[in-house]
C-alpha cells in the first residue's frame, strides 16, 4: 500500500507545477505529450470490458503462495468466473457478478477471486495517469531536455524536489526518479498504437529500487 500511495502522490504532484517553460524546451515537451495515447483526453467518459485471465498461465510465471486453491479448484471453480471491469478517468471497478456472500463460500474464502480483482484493479490504476496524459509534466511546467545515448533526459521541479525522466528516442517514457528524502522510482514500457504510445507495464519501488510490476 505504501508503494501504491507513493505512485498516487508522484503522479498527482506533477500537476502542481504551473510556471512558464522556456521557449527552447516547451516545444519538446509539447511534442512528447502529443505522442501518447490519452483516451480520456479525447472525450472518452468510461469503458467496460471482460477480464481475460488464465490461472494456469499465471502460475507458470509467478510463485504460488498456496492459499489460492488447488489446481482442480482453480480450473473448475475460479476459471469459469467471468470478471468485468468498468473504468472512468478516476476509478477502476472490478466485478465478478457474485455477491460477497457467494464469494465467501468459494474454496479458501474466495482468496483466488480477491487476488485477481486486486491485481486487475491495481494495474488499471497504474494505467490511469497515462490515459489522461498525467504521466508527463503539465505543459506549463519549466523543464529541461538533454539528449542522451538512450534518447532524452527530462528534468523538472516537483514542488521543491527534483525529478528526472529518461525517454527513448521516440519520446516514450522509460523511467522517472523523484529525488527526495524518501525517493521514488518507476520504470515503464510503451507500445505503439493507432492513437499513440500505449502504456504496457509500470514497475515502481522506493529509494530508486524497482519493485513490483503491472501490465
Parse the chain into domains and list their residue ranges: 2-38+133-214, 46-130
Confidence check: pLDDT of 208 > 50: no
Confidence check: pLDDT of 79 > 50: yes
Cα separations (Å) of 165 from 33, 56, 184, 186, 206? 13, 37, 12, 10, 16
Confidence check: pLDDT of 21 > 80: no
CA angle 199–25–29, rounded 5-degree value: 20
Q: What is the dihedral of CA 59, 62, 64, 69, to 10 degrees?
A: -40
Query: What does 153-181 look like in DSSP terms, one character per residue?
Result: EEEEEETTEEEEEEE-TT--EEEEEEEST
The pLDDT value recorded for residue 67 is 83
The pLDDT value recorded for residue 26 is 87
The residues, ordered by sequence, that sit 6+ positions from 35 with a Cβ below 8 Å of its Cβ are 170, 171, 172, 196, 197
Please write the tens of the pLDDT for every residue from 82-129.
Answer: 999 999 999 999 999 999 999 999 999 999 999 999 999 999 998 998
Confidence check: pLDDT of 41 > 60: yes
Confidence check: pLDDT of 210 > 80: no
Pairing of strands 196-206, 213-214: antiparallel
- In this prediction the pTM is 0.74
How does the average pLDDT of the chain come out, rounded? 85
pLDDT range class, residue 136, cuts 50, 70, 90: very high
Percent of the chain with pLDDT over 90: 63
Is 171 in contact with 30 (CB distance < 8 Å)?
no
Confidence check: pLDDT of 4 > 50: no
The pLDDT value recorded for residue 97 is 94
Range name among 86-90, 205-209, 210-214 with the lowest pLDDT average? 210-214
Range name among 22-31, 86-95, 112-121, 195-204 with the lowest pLDDT average? 22-31
Rounded distance between C-alpha atoms, residue 66 and residue 212, angstroms: 20
Amino acid at each position: 500500500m505504501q508503494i501504491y500511495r507513493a505512485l498516487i502522490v508522484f503522479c498527482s504532484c506533477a500537476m502542481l507545477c504551473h510556471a512558464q517553460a522556456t521557449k527552447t524546451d516547451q516545444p519538446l515537451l509539447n511534442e512528447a505529450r502529443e505522442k501518447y495515447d490519452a483516451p480520456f483526453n479525447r472525450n472518452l467518459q468510461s469503458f467496460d470490458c471482460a477480464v481475460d485471465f488464465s490461472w494456469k498461465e499465471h502460475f507458470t510465471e509467478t510463485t504460488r503462495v498456496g492459499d489460492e486453491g488447488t489446481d482442480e479448484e482453480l480450473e473448475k471453480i475460479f476459471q469459469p468466473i467471468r470478471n468485468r471491469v468498468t473504468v472512468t478517468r478516476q476509478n477502476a471497478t472490478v466485478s465478478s457478478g457474485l455477491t460477497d456472500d457467494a464469494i465467501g463460500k468459494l474454496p479458501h474464502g474466495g482468496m483466488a477471486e480477491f487476488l485477481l480483482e486486486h491485481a486487475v484493479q491495481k494495474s488499471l490504476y497504474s494505467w490511469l495517469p497515462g490515459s489522461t496524459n498525467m504521466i508527463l509534466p503539465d505543459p506549463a511546467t519549466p523543464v529541461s531536455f538533454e539528449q542522451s545515448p538512450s534518447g532524452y533526459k527530462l528534468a523538472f521541479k516537483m514542488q521543491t524536489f527534483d525529478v528526472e525522466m529518461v525517454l527513448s528516442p521516440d519520446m516514450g517514457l522509460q523511467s522517472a526518479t523523484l529525488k527526495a528524502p524518501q525517493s521514488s522510482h518507476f520504470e515503464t514500457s510503451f507500445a505503439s498504437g493507432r492513437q499513440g504510445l500505449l502504456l504496457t507495464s509500470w514497475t515502481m519501488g522506493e529509494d530508486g529500487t524497482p519493485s513490483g510490476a503491472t501490465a
